[in-house]
């Protein structure tokens, strides 16, 4: 029988426990709320509710998500320029908005004059140098306390008008990813699309992969579910791993004492 030194015994026990308890995580069971166009290439097992109007998609998501925070940017002071520039992002109502490329603006609709969208101030993402960044996607990450529910409204606008619209990518911190499409409209509200996701796995960030430059990426009315208190509690597998490690450490200490006494 091969005897291991206490430190090696502990390491072996932890490695064995980790090998038995780790493994590829199961895909979350996601429920999607969308409008205008269904989620493209939705993975198997994803439930999709497709609506045709904000009046139906919003309350359906709210009823399923339960208590949540609405971030509509209407409380942001945009005077005197009718917009506020955030080169590296900002935090609002517990959520942090971070552009991975480009800059963020909270814009008052009056800045656009006759053309405006949404229901008040909204969030835009622009690249700094269109000549350099043309054709590139513009990821925006929203971070928050772990939750099971997230939604937002979005619109793509280009000059000249592109009736085909663009696709958006949505990726949760769990790794679940979705593609969705939006049309292109100059009219108030009619161009807005809704996307919401409720997952059985808690997630703490969402990355939006927005269309390339030459478009105004308008996002508004972010809805973030109530924090999940269980997200801070170790999973059962983690508890088991800690218990195995504690037992191995205790055994190693007892063996060392016995050897010292002998």
* Domain total in the chain: 1
Let me know if residue 250 belongs to a domain: no
Let me know if residue 56 belongs to a domain: yes
Let me know if residue 223 belongs to a domain: yes
pLDDT digits (tens, 9 = 90+) for 37-63: 556 556 667 888 888 788 889 999 999
In angstroms, the CA 65 to CA 27 distance is 20
Let me know if residue 256 belongs to a domain: no
pLDDT band at 215 (very low <50, low <70, confident <90, very high): low
pLDDT digits (tens, 9 = 90+) for 149-200: 999 988 766 555 555 666 778 999 999 988 877 665 544 445 678 899 999 9
SS3 for 176? coil
> Domain range holding 156?
30-230
- The CATH number of the domain holding residue 212 is 2.60.120
Cβ neighbours of residue 184 closer than 8 Å, sequence gap 6 or more: 156, 157, 158, 161, 162, 163, 164, 165, 166, 191
pLDDT digits (tens, 9 = 90+) for 114-153: 555 567 899 988 765 555 555 556 789 999 999 999 999 8
Let me know if residue 166 belongs to a domain: yes
């Amino acid at each position: 029988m091969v005897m291991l030194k206490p430190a090696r015994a502990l390491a072996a026990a932890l490695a064995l426990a980790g090998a038995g308890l780790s493994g590829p995580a199961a895909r979350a069971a996601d429920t999607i709320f969308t409008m205008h166009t269904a989620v493209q290439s939705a993975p198997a097992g994803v439930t999709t509710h497709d609506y045709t109007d904000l009046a139906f998609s919003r309350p359906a998501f709210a009823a399923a998500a339960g208590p949540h925070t609405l971030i509509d940017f209407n409380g942001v002071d945009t005077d005197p320029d009718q917009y506020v520039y955030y080169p590296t992002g900002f935090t609002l109502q517990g959520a942090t908005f971070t552009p991975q490329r480009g800059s963020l603006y909270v814009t008052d609709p009056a800045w656009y004059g006759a053309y405006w969208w949404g229901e008040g101030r909204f969030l835009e993402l622009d690249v700094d140098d269109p000549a350099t960044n043309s054709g590139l996607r513009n990821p925006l990450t929203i971070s928050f306390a772990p939750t099971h529910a997230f939604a937002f409204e979005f619109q793509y606008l280009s000059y000249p008008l592109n009736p085909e619209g663009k696709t958006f990518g949505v990726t949760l911190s769990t790794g679940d990813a979705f593609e969705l499409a939006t049309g292109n409209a100059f009219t108030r509200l009619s161009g807005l699309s809704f996307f919401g996701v409720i997952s059985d796995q808690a997630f703490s960030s969402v990355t939006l992969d927005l269309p390339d430059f030459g478009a105004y990426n308008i996002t508004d009315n972010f809805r973030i579910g109530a924090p999940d208190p269980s997200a801070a509690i170790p999973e059962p597998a983690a508890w088991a791993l800690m218990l195995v490690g504690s037992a191995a450490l205790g055994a190693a200490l007892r063996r060392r004492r016995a050897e010292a006494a002998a």
